[in-house]
Structure 1
Amino acid sequence: MAVQPEGTPCWADAMFSDVEGAKSFYGDVLGWTFGEASSEYGNYTQAYSDGKAVAAVVPPMPSQEEGPSQWCLYLASPDAAATAGKIRENGGEVLMEPMAVGDFGTMCLARDPSGAVFGVWQAGQHEGFEATGEPGAYAWAEFFTREPAKTDDFLTAVFPYRAKQMEDDGVDFRIFDIAENTVLGRMKMTDDFPPEVPSYVNVYFAVPDCDDAVAKATKLGGILRFGPMSSPFGRFAALSDPQGASFSVIDLSTTEGEMPKISEV
C-alpha cells in the first residue's frame, strides 16, 4: 500500500514482556505469522496475515518500566517533527521525540490532552499496513476519551480531519474524515468504564467470524470486555489479551440494522 494521507491510521504495534506468548495468542486468534526478530531494532518483530505485514510486537527496552501492554496506533505524517510541534501547540504531550528508525521511517509517540497515547509515523521504506479491512488485518480505530471536547479540538487542530457527529442519544460518537474517507472514530467513555481506566485508542482487527475469534481468545486466557454485538458496521467484540492489551475484533461481513444518521459538525 502507498504512503497514506496525513492523519490516516497507518501502523500498529504493541510491547509485550512475553513476546512468545503474544505471538502464540495472536497467531491463534487472528491467524498471524511472524517474521524474524530484528535485533538491530530491539527485537521488533513484524506480524503477517496472508503474507502481508499488518502489525508488530516488541519486547520492552531495558530502560523502560514495565507497564501494562497496550496497542499503539500510528497516524501518518509527512513531517513527524512538524506534527510533534502541532501536538505541543494544541495541548498534547510528546512522549518520545521524533526518531529515525534506520531507513524505515521516523516515529514519534504522543499523548492527547485527555490522556490517550498514540504514535506518529513518517514513512520511509516502511509505508505501513500492507493490508487493511481483510481478515487478520487492521480494520478501524477509535479514541476512547472521558473528555471528548478536548480530544475533538486536538485531533482536528493537529490533523486535516473533517469531523462529523453520529446522531444517537445513546452514545456520544464522532467520526473524522480525510477527503471522502472516514478514517477514525472518537467515543465518549461512559460510567461503564472503571474510573482507573485511562483514555486510550482502541484498535480493531478484522476476523472472518467474531464469535469464533472471541471463543479462541477467551480459551487462551483473553478476557471478553464487551459483545459480541451486531451493528450496521459489522459484528464486533472488545477483548483484553492475557497480558492486558485491549483490542477489538470485527467481522465486517456480518452487519445488522440501518446506518445511523451522521451530521457535519
Structure 2
Amino acid sequence: MTTHTEPWPAGTPCWVDLMASDLGRAQAFYRDVLGWTYSESQPEYGGYCNALLDGRTVAGLSPTMEGMESAPHVWSVYLATEDISAHAARAVEAGATPVYEPMEVGPFGSMGMYVDRTGAAFGMWQAHEHTGFGAYGEPGAVTWCDLMTDDPAAAQGFYAAVFGYTYQDIGDENMPYALFTVPGGQMPAGGIGGLDPQAGDAQPGWSVAFQVEDVDAAVRRVREAGGSVDREPFDFEYGRMAVVAGSDREVFMVMTPKEDM
C-alpha cells in the first residue's frame, strides 16, 4: 500500500475529480473497473463524494452542476498549493485565465480553477482536512498525471513561473515530453508533452492514469461496464497502458508500471 496523509508539496498533482451526468452510473462504472467504494454523497457540496480504496481517498465524483450540462466530461487535475492566493496571482501574471477564483470548500480546503496560457484547464487545491490523494501509485489509485498541449515549451515556462517546476527532457523531435519535478522533490511528479500529431482534433489538457494489476483485464472490465477503448493496450518504456473512456466518454488511462519503477 502507498498511503499518504500529509498535504502534498506545492505543484504536485494531488487530486482528480469528475462531474458525471449520472452519478450512480459513474460510481458503478468505476466500482467495476477500479474497485472503488464511495463516501456518502453530500448535498451541501453539490452531491460530491469521494472515491475510496480501502478507506483512503483516491478521487472525487459529483453530479453535473446546474448550468454546466453542456460542459465536457473530463477528469480535472488539481495541483497542490500551501498558499492558493499567492499561486493564483502568479498564475494570472503568467497568463492564466481564471475559471473559478479561490474559494473555501467548508473545512476541507480551498480550490480554484484556471486555464493556462496554452488552453489547458487545471485546478489548485490548498489542503485543510482533505489533503488530496490518500492512496497513490497502487492498483485502483492514480499513478501518473501529465499535460499534453500544442505548445509544450510555453506550458513548461508557465508552470515553472507559477510552481517552480524543473524539467528532465525525455522526448524527441516527433513527440516532445519532459518530466517535471517540484521544488525540493526527489523524483518526477508528472510530465508535460506535445499533442499526438495523429490526433487532429485533440485539445490541450491534463490527463490521469490509474494503476491496475493487469491492463488487458482492466480493458475488458471497461467494455463490460459500458465504457469504450480509444487505444488498445500497448507496451512502452515505463510499462503497459491503454487509453479508455468511461460512461460519459471521459478519457483516462489504465497503466501497469514496470516492476522496477
Q: CA offset at residue 253 of structure 1? A: 4.2
* Residue 39 (structure 2) pairs with residue 12 (structure 1): no
Moved more, 134-143 or 184-193: 184-193
Ranges in structure 2 where 5+ consecutive residues have no aligned partner? none
Q: Distance in 2 between matches of 1:155 and 1:238?
A: 25
Aligned to 2:187: 181
* CA RMSD in angstroms, aligned pairs only: 1.5
Q: CA offset at residue 254 of structure 1? A: 5.7
Q: Aligned letter for 2:108?
A: F
Deviation per residue, 1:9-34 (Å, 9 max, x gap): 11110001111111011110111111
Match of 2:232 among 227, 231, 236: 227
Q: Aligned letter for 1:184?
A: G
Aligned partners of 2:180 and 2:191 also within 8 Å: yes
Q: Secondary structure at the match of 2:235?
A: strand
Aligned to 1:262: none
* Residue 71 (structure 2) pairs with residue 67 (structure 1): yes
- What TM-score do the two structures reach when normalised by structure 2? 0.93
Q: Secondary structure at the match of 2:52?
A: strand
Q: CA offset at residue 190 of structure 1? A: 2.5
Q: Secondary structure at the match of 1:7?
A: coil
* Residue 61 (structure 2) pairs with residue 57 (structure 1): yes
Q: CA offset at residue 170 of structure 1? A: 4.2
1:145/1:96 CA distance change after superposition, 3 Å: same
Aligned to 1:241: 246
Q: Secondary structure at the match of 1:182?
A: coil
Q: When the two structures are aligned, how many residues end up with a matched partner?
A: 255
Aligned to 2:221: 216
Aligned to 2:257: 252
Identity rate, percent: 37
Aligned partners of 1:60 and 1:66 also within 8 Å: no
Q: Distance in 2 between matches of 1:202 and 1:238?
A: 10
Which consecutive segments of 4 or more residues in structure 1 shift more than 4 A? Answer: none
- What TM-score do the two structures reach when normalised by structure 1? 0.92
Q: Distance in 2 between matches of 1:242 and 1:110?
A: 25
* Residue 168 (structure 2) pairs with residue 157 (structure 1): no
Match of 2:87 among 83, 88, 92: 83
Match of 2:112 among 108, 112, 115: 108
Q: Secondary structure at the match of 1:193?
A: coil
Deviation per residue, 1:201-249 (Å, 9 max, x gap): 1101111111111111123232212231122322111111120211111
Q: CA offset at residue 66 of structure 1? A: 2.8
Ranges in structure 1 where 5+ consecutive residues have no aligned partner? 260-265
Q: How does 1:184-199 map to 2 (within 5 A)?
A: 184-195=190-201, 197-199=202-204
1:240/1:254 CA distance change after superposition, 3 Å: farther
Aligned to 1:130: 134
